[in-house]
Structure 1
């Protein structure tokens, strides 16, 4: 058996030792952590931890009395809560950098057509994560607190604890950021041949039920936030089916072009 690489395989002969893969992974993780640290330092300078707290508190402050403030019950809450918000904001800001490091690690092992497929998905995944978090900040929280405020008795002063508030909204950020990745998951399932477009269409009714179950589990017990998560998931599922059809169409076109190029006689 010949050990010569297959000239038809563009990745032939590019294999690296396992130790070298580990070193590459270490370097990419190090670069990612450095990028996170740079983002944390930049956000600490402007707008600062206090400015970030004021930003995330805008939705609930809009439904509190003008002179009311969030309170810090824990002894160390005034220190750890702004630090937690700063770290979360730095992770979001450095997300494209993390995605680039991931791409740099896996790109050498991908074929040209796989690279053309992966790059748009990485870019789209970052945009969808930002869209989900923005949706929470500018729509869901405002509607949710307006709904909750209607059930607050007049004899009760609503002064939420900043630690519990930040924990709740960070949970919503994470839930919506992940839920908005539905189109990416659908496209990958179709691209890997695990499901067909027709099966996804047939599964549509079951996915609607699953979406509302997930929304009931991961969101607060109010109708507004549950609908705000379940409905976009259903819409994104349909967008995922459409995107999968588009990717398959382009994939077949690229395959036909490459096949035609291989069969083209040499001059």
Structure 2
């Protein structure tokens, strides 16, 4: 079956936007992957320094436990373990560093398909998301990790005639996994105000509904904390409490958004009423001019 020239033109017109989107997607992917790769190489080059930086909370915990922080020791039991730990650390660090670039590329890809008011509404959340993630990571680094490691260090026992000596000698891979799990968990939980605010703005949630589900939210917070954190009560409670506080922040943010939406609605109604009055006045004056 042959295709006419008009049908070919229609196919080309319909495929042109698709090709433009694919080209744009390719460009954004290249920027995102390239940014991640560069960040990965930089982090891998400084992997040992970054790992030593992550060990600092362990040293603080050692000092809290009354031990010498200069004698903190980590081990690796396989020849390749520390190398792959550095690779894992570089990938994690590269993703964190490249996230603003990746998020920007995602925004630039979807922004042309959004209205101006939708772009203006989406942009603050794009900025708030990495800030909240860094806040969660900072809480892990400066408070939560030292507290957890102090809890584990307290389980050590000195060797005597009646008991064997038990010392904490973490593996480098396990320590990094613990830190990464905590940072990811807290960073993810700290996105709660962003998610609820977006859902409130599009009408999927309301402050009233969030307030009514507060009891369920508390239960879910502890369940999520049990799933995301290591299996110890300190980690679970330490994540559940900030989650509950962030839920309260989400309710407050939802109320602010609703108030802003009401103000915008009243302003639009006022403007529409003024335009209607002006239109009626113009019609009346035109009728008088004709008569």
> How does the TM-score come out when normalised to structure 2?
0.79
Shift of 1:236: 0.8
Give yes or no for contact 2:44–2:89 (8 Å, CA) kept in 1.
Answer: no
Corresponding residue for 2:50?
52
Matched residues in 2 for 1:25 and 1:245: separation?
36
Q: Tell me by how many angstroms 1:134 deviates.
A: 1.3
Deviates more, 1:227-236 or 1:146-155: 146-155
Q: 1:184 to 1:211 in 2, by over 3 A?
A: same
Quick one: which of 183, 186, 189 aligns to 1:176?
186
Counterparts of 1:114 and 1:73 in 2: how far apart (Å)? 53
1:238 pairs with 2:248: yes
Q: Which structure ranks higher in relative contact order (CA pairs < 8 Å, sequence separation ≥ 6)?
A: 1
Q: Distance in 2 between matches of 1:116 and 1:57?
A: 41
Distance in 2 between residues matched to 1:81 and 1:259, nearest whole Å: 60
- The whole-number CA distance in structure 2 between the counterparts of 1:215 and 1:44 is 31
TM-score, normalised by the number of residues in structure 1? 0.86
For the residue of structure 2 that corresponds to 1:72, the secondary structure is coil
Whether the 8 Å contact between 1:52 and 1:82 is mirrored in structure 2 is no
Q: Whole-Å Cα distance in 1 between the matches of residues 18 and 259 of structure 2?
A: 36
Q: Distance in 1 between matches of 2:19 and 2:266?
A: 38
2:202 is the counterpart of 1:198: no
CA separation of 1:61 and 1:131: change in aligned 2, threshold 3 A = same
Partner of 1:143: 147
- 1:131 aligns to 2:150 (yes or no): no
Alignment match, 2:26: 26
What's the counterpart of residue 158 of structure 1? 168
DSSP-derived class of the 1:58 partner: helix
Distance 1:87 1:59 in 2: 21
- How many residue pairs align between the two structures? 251
RMSD: 2.3
Larger Rg: 2
SS of the aligned residue for 1:55 comes to: helix
> Following the alignment from structure 2 to structure 1, what is the Cα–Cα distance between the partners of residues 111 and 86?
37
Equivalent positions of 1:5-44 (< 5 A) are 17-44=17-44
